[in-house]
Each structure stands twice: as structure tokens, then as C-alpha cells.
Amino acid sequence: MNAIPDRAAGAEAMPPGLTLDVRDLHTRFATDDGVARAVEGVSFRVGRGETLAVVGESGSGKSVTSLSVMRLIAAPAGRIAAGTILFRGRDGAVHDLAAAGERLMRGIRGNEIGMIFQEPMTSLNPVYPVGEQIAEVLRLHRGLDRHAARAGALEMLEMVGIPAAARRLDEYPHQMSGGMRQRVMIAIALACRPTLLIADEPTTALDVTIQAQILDLMRQLQAGTGTSILFITHNLGVVAEIAHRVAVMYAGRIVEEGDVRTLFKAPRHPYTRGLLASMPRLGQAHGGARLEAIPGNVPGPFGRPAGCTFAPRCAYAEPACTAGEPVLETVTATHAVRCRRWRDLP
């Protein structure tokens, strides 16, 4: 892959040791009801070998963020309106994916960046054996011949822990369980040893024991390959299992970001606190006490409230909150929060 000449905001500005550096990303969709601002000024970084979990409710913009990085936003309705997505490939060259051409993107997708989708039941093509689907990505990006690609596919199936892999190679997706299919998806995503793996709710459609196995597998594979992971989820339990750092999204913005320990131990944003309080915990639910819920819903992408978008649902909101948009303030070196009142919170 040829490195494009780096732009003004390019390589020299991207700190070393980072795989992905997203800055001020805006993604919008033109709909019949107006322009939906799905992502509004999101910035985050993923270091080499690091797992960043992006957490949020439905409609918070977390999936659109991940699709933006892959440039899978369906044109012409959707587009990346502003921002840069700096990505460092395995050869060290930095590309701005937000401005990259389709040809460059095709070379990156599946090769430098692998992606796992939420629906293992429908993310595999029903008419091809799974072995061929793994082999396809190897043939596309590695230029392997049929035979070598098949050997590579077998190796990948073994790597993701599918028993009797040689036999499974010729099975069709409908002959496999959801957990097996998700392992196949992971095998496809990792076949070319990508520098970045994007996992968009990879365990949501699976039952809990399989979830744990898949998370285990991803952790192992990351330790083995040093792949960075961008993990999209709404499940805080999963976050605690796999993430190094967490970014909490609300209504198209990141409202709090920090390493996983800090965020779970000392959340600063009222929304993060609400999310954690609404999560059942072993040993902490006394005598049938009700779980807390955050009142109201995530505001839609049209006509979001002025100022802090969480203010209408926030127990600590004051008039100033709706007056101006809060900025991301630094709490510690590894912890930032977008709330003007974080110092006052109990």
C-alpha cells in the first residue's frame, strides 16, 4: 500500500504509539425529517495493543462512530461532515481515513482494519462454506492462491478455537451455532493480522456463557498479536471484562473518558453514574431494592437540547447547564469529563 503524502494535520501531529487518532469527527445523515447529527465532535485515541470500549445507549452514535472509521457510512444520505481519522498502518504510514479514496479504503478494510459485527447469524454469506469466506479475505489482500488461502483459513479456524477445524472448513453457516459463527467472523476479521480490530457489539446476540468465551478469545488473541481493539458495546459488564480504557457516549458526544478502573470506581459524569447505578451487581442488591433507572430517553438526532444534552435528564442540572455547551474537562491525566458541575457532585 502506498502511503499518501501526509496532510498538515497528519503524521507529525499523531503521537507515536497510537494506532487510531480520531479528532472532532462529525457524521451526519440527510433524512426526510432534516439532518440527523449522529456524531458531533467525537475525539478519541486508541494506542497500540490497547482496547478502547465505546459505551452508550441505543442512538448515542457509537455504531456510527465505528462505521465512520471503516468509511461504511452509506452515501449519499450519510457523510462524514468534518474531522480527521488518523490511522497508522502496519508499515508505519499514517492515513487520514476521513479523506481517503475508495481504493485506499478497500486495501485497508479487512486487511489493516478488521471488523466484527453484531449479528453472527446474518453476517456470513449463506451460500458459501465458512472456509471459503475466510479464504476470500486472504486471497483479496494477501494474493494467496486457492490452496494457500485454504491452509490459512484452516489455521485461523484453529486459532479461534473451533474444534475439528478441518471438517468445519466445508460447513455452511446454517450448520453452525451463533457462537461458532461469531468465532468464524473473528477468524475473518483477524485473518490478515490487522493493526486495528473494530468489534461492534460482538457478543450482544450471544448467550452469556458464549459471551464469556468470545471475550476470552479476543483477549487471548490481542495478547498474541498486539492488535488494537475498538470495542463498541452497551454492556458495562463486558466493558469491565475487556477494556483498558472507556469512552462513554451520549447523544453523539463523548461525555466521559478514562481508564476502566477509574471510570468504574470514580465516575464523574452524572450519566456514567446513572449507567453504573442501573447495572445489577452481585452482593450489592439488598433485600429486593429496585435498580435505579435514568429517567427519560436519549434525545433523538434532531433538535437536541441546547447546552448540555443530558441536562433534561440530569438530577444535578442547573440553569447554567442549558445555557452553554460544556467542554471536556480534565480530571486527571487519564480521565476527562464533559460536565460543568463535576467538581460539585457528591
Partner 1 sequence: MASLPAAGAPPAATGSAPGPAPRPAAPRGRSPLALLLRRLFRRRMVLVAAVLLAAIVACAVAAPWITPYDPMKMAILNRLQAPGAAHWFGTDEFGRDVLARVLLGAQLSLLVGALVVVVATVLGTAIGLLGGYVRRLDGLFMRFTDALMAFPDILLAIAFMAALGPSLFNVVLALGIVYTPRVARVVRAAVLVLRELPFVEAATALGASTPRIVLVHVLPNLLSPIIVQATFIFAYAILTEAALSFLGVGVPPTTPTWGNMIAGAQQYVRQADWLMLFPGIAIVLTVLSLQVVGDGLRDALDPRLQKVT
127 binds partner 1 (CB under 8 A): yes
Nearer to partner 1, 111 or 222 (CB): 111
In the window 140-169, what residues touch partner 1 (CB under 8 A)? 140-141, 151, 154, 164, 166-167
91, 170, 207, 216: which one binds partner 1 (CB under 8 A) = 170
111 binds partner 1 (CB under 8 A): yes
124 binds partner 1 (CB under 8 A): yes
25, 80, 137, 176: which one binds partner 1 (CB under 8 A) = 137
> Closest distance between partner 1 and the C-beta of residue 239, in Å?
23
Nearer to partner 1, 184 or 239 (CB): 184
Enumerate the β-bridge partners of residue 112.
Answer: none
Contact stretch for partner 1 (CB under 8 A) within 38-46, 170-178, 228-236, 237-245? 170-178
> Closest distance between partner 1 and the C-beta of residue 232, in Å?
13
- The DSSP result for 12-63, as a single string, is GGS-TTEEEEEEEEEEEEEETTEEEEEEEEEEEEEETT-EEEEE--TTSSHH
Beta strand 335-337 with 329-332 is antiparallel
Contact yes or no for 112/89 (Cβ under 8 A):
yes
110 binds partner 1 (CB under 8 A): yes
Contact stretch for partner 1 (CB under 8 A) within 132-140, 240-248, 284-292, 329-337? 132-140
> Closest distance between partner 1 and the C-beta of residue 115, in Å?
4
For residues 237 to 256, the per-residue mask of contacts with partner 1, x marking binding by CB under 8 A and - elsewhere, is --------------------
Q: In what order do the strands lie in the sheet with 18-31?
A: 34-47, 18-31, 78-88, 94-96
Nearest to 272 by CA among 60, 15, 21: 60
- Quick one: residue 193, left, alpha or beta (phi over 0 = left, psi -120 to 50 = alpha)? left
Contact yes or no for 187/149 (Cβ under 8 A):
no
Query: How many C-beta atoms lie closer than 10 Å to residue 259's C-beta?
Result: 16
The separation between CA 173 and the C-alpha centre of its own chain, rounded to angstroms, equals 25
Nearer to partner 1, 30 or 323 (CB): 30
188, 239, 254, 298: which one binds partner 1 (CB under 8 A) = 188
Beta strand 51-55 with 228-233 is parallel
274 binds partner 1 (CB under 8 A): no
177 binds partner 1 (CB under 8 A): no
In the window 23-82, what residues touch partner 1 (CB under 8 A)? 70, 72
Instruction: Retrieve residue 204's grid coordinates.
Output: 450482544
Considering Cα of 86, then 202, then 80, then 245, what sign does the dihedral take? negative
Query: How many C-beta atoms lie closer than 10 Å to residue 59's C-beta?
Result: 18
Nearer to partner 1, 174 or 290 (CB): 174
Q: Which residues contribute to the site for partner 1 (CB under 8 A)?
A: 70, 72, 106-111, 114-115, 117-119, 122-129, 136-137, 140-141, 151, 154, 164, 166-167, 170-175, 185, 188-189
